[in-house]
Chain A
C-alpha cells in the first residue's frame, strides 16, 4: 500500500534495488507567507540539504472579460518553490515546501495542500497584510496550521492576544514565535504544528 508502482501494482521486495530502503514514506509541510517574510530562511534552517528550487508550471484560463476570440486564451505561469528535506527516521522523509503567498498563485495550492501534514503561516508583524489570505485559505480547507511570528527587530514584546485579534487567528489555532534562522526554534514550530494536527486527527 505504501509502496506501489505508478500503475498501482504493489512493489515487491525483489524489485527494490540493493540498499534501497523499503516502506519509504514521504510527508510534507507547507510554509506559507508573503514575499520576504523568511520562508526560504526557515526551510534552510531545517533542511539537511541546501534548499532546492523547483518550478511548477501552471496553465489556467485567463480571467479576462468579454473575450470574443474563438480560441480561449490560456496563460502559463511558472512558479518557483524553494523546498528542503528532513529525514525523520529510517523510512519517513519530510519535505518542506515554501509556497508563494500571493493570492494569484492559489490555484496551485490545492495540489500542494493535498495530503499535507499542515502548514506554517510565517508572519512579519511589520507587514501583516500578506498573511490574511493564507490564514483564510488553510482555515477554509480544514488544513491544520500554525501562525508563526518571525521575530524581526522591533517586533518583540507584542501582546499575543492583540496579534491574534489583528490577524483574525481562529480560536484553537496555535500562535508561535520563531527565529527563522534558528534550527531549534523552527523545529519547535513544527512540533507545535504536528501536535495540533494530531489533536485534530481522528
Chain B
C-alpha cells in the first residue's frame, strides 16, 4: 500500500516539524486534561536554571514565561495548536519547571463574584 502524501498538502500548516514529533505522539496529557486555554504559566527558578539544556521548544516556553503567558499564547508562540501546547506545558509543570495558574471558579462553574467585581473596577478605570 502506498500513501500519497500530496493528499494533505497543508495538513501540518507548513510546519517543518510535525506536531506529533513535539509530543512523542501524545495528544493528551494526564496532568493537563483540565487546563483551560486561558490558564497562565510562569517559569520557576528550577525551570529557568534548566532551560539552557532543554529541547528548543521547551526552552522557548520556559524563557517566554518569565512573564505570565496563557496556554493560548504558548500555542501562538510555537505555532502549534492549543492541544499541543497543553501537552508540553503539562510536562514542564510536572517537572516543576513551570507553575500553572488556573482560573478560580465557583461551584456553578462561573468566575467568583469578587473576581467579577475586580474586573469591573479594572475596566471602569481604563
- A residues at B contact (CB < 8 Å): 1-7, 11, 15-21, 24-28, 52-57, 78, 81, 83, 85, 88-89, 92-95, 97, 111-112, 114-115, 117, 183, 187, 190-191, 194-195, 197-198, 201-202
Interchain CB contact (< 8 A) of B103 among A21, A25, A57, A194? A25
The answer to whether B40 and A24 touch across the interface, beta carbons within 8 angstroms, is: yes
A contact face: mostly helix, strand, loop, or mixed: mixed
Question: Which one, A3, A19, A88, A195, contacts B101 given CB within 8 A?
Answer: A3
> Once the chains bind, are B104 and A54 in contact (CB under 8 Å)?
no
Once the chains bind, are A194 and B123 in contact (CB under 8 Å)?
yes
Whether the Cβ atoms of A117 and B119 lie closer than 8 Å is yes
Q: How far is A78 from B19 in the complex, measured between Cα atoms in Å?
A: 13
The CA of A197 and the CA of B117, in the complex, are separated in Å by: 10
Please tell me if the beta carbons of B66 and A56 are within 8 angstroms of each other in the complex. Answer: no
- The residue that B32 contacts in the complex, of A6, A11, A187, with Cβ under 8 A, is A6
How far, in angstroms, from A55 to B126 measured CA to CA in the complex? 30
Instruction: Check A27–B103 contact: CB distance below 8 A.
Output: yes
Interface members, chain B 1-45 (any A CB < 8 Å): 13, 19, 31-32, 35-40, 42-45
Q: Count of B residues near A, CB < 8 Å?
A: 58
Query: B99 near A27 (CB under 8 angstroms)?
Result: no
Q: Which residues of A contact B32 (CB under 8 A)?
A: 6
Cβ A191 vs Cβ B120 within 8 A: yes
Decide if B116 touches A201 in the complex (CB within 8 Å). Answer: yes
Q: Are B81 and A54 in contact (CB under 8 A)?
A: yes
**Inter-subunit contact B42/A16 (CB<8 Å):** yes
Contact A115 B105 (CB under 8 A): yes
With beta carbons under 8 angstroms apart, the residue of B39, B45, B110, B126 that contacts A15 is B45
Whether A56 lies near B83 (C-beta < 8 A) is yes
Please tell me if the beta carbons of B102 and A4 are within 8 angstroms of each other in the complex: yes
- Chain B positions 100 through 117: 1 when the CB is less than 8 Å from some CB of chain A, otherwise 0: 111111101111010111
Q: Which residues of A contact B93 (CB under 8 A)?
A: 5-7
Measured CA separation A55–B71 after assembly (Å)? 11
Closest beta carbon of chain B to A160's beta carbon, Å: 23
Interface string of B64-92 (1 = CB under 8 A from A): 00101010110110001111100001100
**Chain A residues whose C-beta falls within 8 Å of the C-beta of B116 in the assembled complex:** 117, 194, 197-198, 201
Let me know if A26 and B100 touch, CB within 8 A: no
Chain B residue numbers with a CB within 8 Å of A24 are 40, 42, 68, 101
Complex contacts, A183 vs chain B, CB 8 Å: 126
Contact of B68 with A94 in the complex, beta carbons under 8 Å: no
Instruction: Provide the bound-state CA to CA distance between A197 and B110, in Å.
Output: 9
Bound-state CA distance A194–B125 (Å) is 14
What separation, in Å, do the CA atoms of A89 and B115 have in the docked complex? 11
Q: Which residues of A contact B109 (CB under 8 A)?
A: 114-115
* Cβ-closest chain B residue relative to A194: B120
Does the CB pair B83–A95 fall under 8 Å?
no
22 examples of A-B residue contacts, CB within 8 angstroms: A5-B94, A5-B99, A17-B48, A21-B42, A57-B19, A57-B82, A57-B84, A85-B73, A88-B118, A92-B119, A94-B122, A95-B37, A95-B72, A111-B37, A112-B37, A114-B109, A191-B120, A197-B110, A198-B113, A198-B120, A201-B113, A202-B108
